[in-house]
Amino acid sequence: MIELYDYELSSDAYKARLLLALLGVAWTQRYVEYYPRRQHRAPEFLALSPRGELPVIVDDGTIVDDAQNVLVHLASRHDPTGRWYPQNDAGLTSQVSTWLAFAAALTPTASAARLHDGLLYHHIDVDEARRGAHEQLAVLDEHLWFNEDAGWSWLCTVDQPTIADIACFPDVILAEEGGIELRTYPAIRRWTDRVKAIPGFIAMPGIFPA
Amino acid sequence: MHGTSRWFPVIRSEEIVPRHIAFVQLLDEEIVLWRADDGALNAWENRCPHRGIRLSIGTHAGSEIVCRYHGWRFASGSGSCTLIPAHPSQVPPKAARVRSYQIRERYGFAWIALGDVEGEPSLPELDGLPHLTLRSMTFAAAAADVAATLASEPGIVVHDPYRAVWERMGDAAPMLLLLQPESSAMTTLHAVAGNDLTGAGRLAFLRAHNAWCKEIRPRIVSEESRSAQASR
Ligand SMILES: N[C@@H](CCC(=O)N[C@@H](CS)C(=O)NCC(=O)O)C(=O)O
Ligand code: FES
């Protein structure tokens, strides 16, 4: 039994919902009102995960936190095909790790700009957040362009999407809600189309389905 | 802004992939490019004639674009509305038609002209040669500022405000550098070389050009700071 501590508008919680949908795994929602009540910093939630961030899953009694780590856990435990988190090829596993770290680094940039614009987090330095996001998106677009040129559709050099794609997709596509236009990143726009076309894909508010 | 009576490359042809709505900007006009399933290429104003919503967030349905808001459908070729879902039996009004732009595909790029234009897109330096298109790169600068930086690079000759030739030494073929003015503050640099490299040689060439684009980025400065520099 999987319980997901979830908030609809959280891009990190959406990573977990998206992978659960793609894996076809059943789960139960434990709703945490991130905004405006900030329940993720309430004592009951901090008792579960002292980091005070969404998402958290409780899987048969095991508590797992950190959005990227939740993806690693779900794919390791609930994907019998092993394709979402390939672990029998060290080079590939390392590529996945790199892009999981890249996804985490979008939190203070693209994700922060969105919280500033959408949820009125006005203490955020939005110009600095957007500047950082553009630097990262330039790296991502270049990577995806050369991958496409070599015949690869995804972040890693494998012919199927991995949790690396699931981890990066939400904050990249939602960046536009933070005033960061994706128009000048054409390889990113093609990749987001491909992610949306993965069988079983689900959207969230702010993301249009294919 | 001038420039409406000429052809500008806006994207590499092969980047307009099946069932994708590509999104570019030329002289402040937002434009979507999409290839119908029969291969016909469309270049449309990024604006739904119903309520003005961007078509770049719409969906590509094969031979039509479907607007995200109320589902009006617009046909490849004419841009005419074929269906208004709220009134499916009504013939859509003639005015419900997306504005389209003139488009050509040559030298590996899609070219757009916003206004009246004479002739076809032409790169005489590459005629008779193969062509290898390279990764395009966008700079947060006016076309004139990018052109000034290109002019300061050894081997590059700027022919007009939007076009430069890089004469490559020895047996290397020339490379054309083409500027797409997105706005007065943003410019995309396209490049096509007259070679037919393959395999590792081609990849090394693509990588080297990409690295060069990133290297010149910090050297692109505004006209004001250029003239300040010159008067010092
Ligand atoms: N309330 C709507 C506007 C209403 C509207 O435009 N409706 C669509 C159908 S959902 C339509 O096509 N109406 C018929 C018409 O304008 O002829 C909105 O702004 O979201
Ligand atoms: S705005 Fe496009 S159909 Fe209404």
ipTM score: 0.94
Location of each CATH 3.40.30.10 domain in chain A: 2-78
Ligand 2, from B47, B56, B72, B80: best to mutate by most atoms within 8 Å of Cβ?
A: B72
Instruction: Please say if the pLDDT value at position B41 is more than 50.
Output: yes
Location of each CATH 3.30.530 domain in chain B: 124-230
Instruction: Please say if the pLDDT value at position B2 is more than 90.
Output: no
| Ranges B70-74, B192-196, B221-225: which has the least confidence | B221-225
Which residues of chain B approach chain A closer than 8 Å at the C-beta? 11, 15, 17, 19-20, 22-25, 30, 56-57, 59, 68, 135-136, 138, 182, 186, 188, 203, 206-207, 210
Percent pLDDT > 90 in chain A is: 93
d(CA B33, CA B56): 9
Residue with tokens 């469309």: B42
Contact B20 A193 (CB under 8 A): yes
d(CA A67, CA B120): 52
Instruction: Please say if the pLDDT value at position B1 is more than 70.
Output: no
Q: Which CATH class is domain A2-78?
A: alpha beta
Contact A193 B19 (CB under 8 A): yes
CA distances for B117 relative to B8, B110, B182, angstroms: 11, 15, 19
Identity of the amino acid at A4: L
A55: its two tokens = 């998402």
Instruction: Please say if the pLDDT value at position A32 is more than 60.
Output: yes
Contact A189 B23 (CB under 8 A): yes
Q: Which CATH class is domain B124-230?
A: alpha beta
- Fold annotation for B8-113: Rieske Iron-sulfur Protein (2.102.10)
Average pLDDT of the residues in B144-154: 95
Ligand 1 site, residue B70, Cβ cutoff 6 A: yes
Q: Which residues of B touch A193 (CB under 8 A)?
A: 19-20
- Fold annotation for A90-196: Glutathione S-transferase Yfyf (Class Pi); Chain A, domain 2 (1.20.1050)
Percent pLDDT > 70 in chain B is: 96
Average pLDDT of the residues in B202-213: 96
Give per-residue pLDDT as tens, A145-189.
999 999 999 999 999 999 999 999 999 999 999 999 999 999 999
| pLDDT band for position A58 (cuts 50, 70, 90) | very high
- Buried b / exposed e along B112-140 (16+ C-beta atoms within 10 A): bbbeebeeebebebbeebebbbbbbbbbe
Ligand 1 site, residue B95, Cβ cutoff 6 A: no
Location of each CATH 1.20.1050.10 domain in chain A: 90-196
Instruction: Please say if the pLDDT value at position B232 is more than 70.
Output: no
d(CA B36, CA A12): 36
| pLDDT band for position B189 (cuts 50, 70, 90) | very high
